[in-house]
Amino acid sequence: MLSPDVTIGMSLSGALTPAGMGCSSIIPLIKAGFVDWIVATGANLYHDMHFALNYPVHTGSFKFDDTDLRDNDLVRIYDVVIPYSDGLMATDDILREILIQPEFQKEMGTAELHYLLGKYCAEWERKNKLKDVSVLAAAYRAGVPCYTSSPGDSTIGMNVAGVALRGCKLRMNPSIDVNETTAIVLAAKRSGGRSAVVLWGGGSPKNFMLQTEPQIQEVLRIKEFGQDFFIQVTDARPDTGGLSGATPSEAVSWGKVDPTKLPDAVVCYTDTTIAMPLFTHYALANHKPRKLRRLYDHRAKIVKALTKEYFAHNKVKMVDGSEPVLD
């Protein structure tokens, strides 16, 4: 999987950044070039900002009395405790001030949104004399695009909606994300390389990462075969029928995984916070860093290539009846 010709996508579900997985695992993988693009829950990227801002995130206990926590201005994420006023609301105040800046006053995909936020996170790290504490900052520096499959389903999206009431023109367009992520996978294949997915948990990020192949094959009608590498860590059972527990074998039926590569697919049923540090240590100890792909910088080029191939495989015109302009 870590061969130079493999483009690696990583999905992040569950409370990983609050649990410290950003500093311990995700950032080292980004810096080593072992992650080329990311799909994360918005919550993971929002809570990542606390670390860049040097706001407190505490180890606690799932046995805490939640009424007492509420009375003492604290919120709980299982065994992690974050101050409500001095953590969440303080982050929100800064985030809203950022979102009304001129560079945000347009329609964009979530990769661009998170890249711009990552620029601010990198500056906060510098001002706070911190190093490698923010996933957004690390992704910004490495040119790793970070997507969120449900941008409204997080405190970042909530704050975007909040400033919209004040006339902020920022609009997140999920179609941009669908086309860019699909273009990443197709570009990996058309360059003579291979595509890999590393899925931490399930949920919407897992599906958003895997739906790139059905988008290529089913919607755009471009001949393709599925992902070449599949690794998933999950605690979800397959027999309930949910996507989180769906096996790579099931994914083959959808065209998401190349059937000839199924014997090499790996599923580990455990807690991500157990497996991720072990996975990271093994990868870093056994493979030298890879050259950064900086896919964020190539988004326009690969989407243009995707568009050309779409029209080459489909005898369609633009919705207004005109011929597509492809040059």
Specify the 3-state DSSP secondary structure of 197.
strand
- Distances, alpha carbon 247 to alpha carbons 72, 116, 194, 202, 241, in Å: 43, 35, 20, 11, 10
Tell me whether residue 231 is in a domain: yes
- Per the structure, the complete domain to which residue 224 belongs is given by 6-301
- Residues 6+ away with beta carbon under 8 Å from 250: 238
* Overall domain count for the chain: 1
Inside any domain, residue 306: no
Separation between Cα atoms, residue 108 and residue 293, nearest integer Å = 22
Q: Is 312 a domain residue?
A: no
Query: Catalytic: which of 127, 256, 288, 304?
Result: 256
> How far apart, in whole angstroms, are the C-alpha atoms of residue 246 and residue 257?
12
Tokens representing residue 91 in the block: 């982050």
Residue at 310 is within a domain = no
Residue 313 lies in a domain: no
Examine residue 309 and state whether it is found in any structural domain, yes or no. Answer: no
pLDDT per residue rounded down to tens, the chain (327 residues):
999 999 999 999 999 999 999 999 999 999 999 999 999 999 999 999 999 999 999 999 999 999 999 999 999 999 999 999 999 999 999 999 999 999 999 999 999 999 999 999 999 999 999 999 999 999 999 999 999 999 999 999 999 999 999 999 999 999 999 999 999 999 999 999 999 999 999 999 999 999 999 999 999 999 999 999 999 999 999 999 998 999 999 999 999 999 999 999 999 999 999 999 999 999 999 999 999 999 999 999 999 999 999 999 999 999 999 999 887
256 as an active site residue: the answer is: yes
CB burial string 239-256: b at 16+ within 10 A, e below: eeeeebbbebeebbeebb
CATH number assigned to the domain comprising residue 40: 3.40.910.10
Distance CA(62)–CA(229), nearest Å, equals 36
The reply to whether 311 falls in a domain is: no
- Is residue 146 situated within a structural domain? yes
